[in-house]
Amino acid sequence: MKQKVWKSDSGALVSKASIALESLDADAWNSAVTLGRSLDAVVSSAKVKNLQLFSPLRYLLTGVTAGIGVPVIMSILGREITLKRLRNIPQ
């Protein structure tokens, strides 16, 4: 994985985000705004900058380092595909 994107704390942050996202109901997955709020809560509780979470998430979900917003990507992919990709955390 690209060193620019994946840092030593990225795995733990992605795991926290995955847990938060798993708890959302089906309607939440239709709203990029709701998904964004859930991810913002993870950022806030972990006391990190948005990029420290959003960059690794974007890379895991799309394989690229730039593009549309992560919550939009998640709402397009849907719950099942998003969570499956987030479980593939590099060691």
The DSSP code for 9 is T
Closest alpha carbon to 76 in 20, 31, 25, 23: 31
Structure-block tokens of residue 18: 């995955």
pLDDT at 85 over 60: yes
Residue 19: Cβ within 10 Å count = 11
Give the mean pLDDT of 61-81.
92
Find the range with the poorest average confidence among 3-12, 19-28, 51-60, 72-81. 3-12
- Residue 1's pLDDT band (cuts 50, 70, 90): low
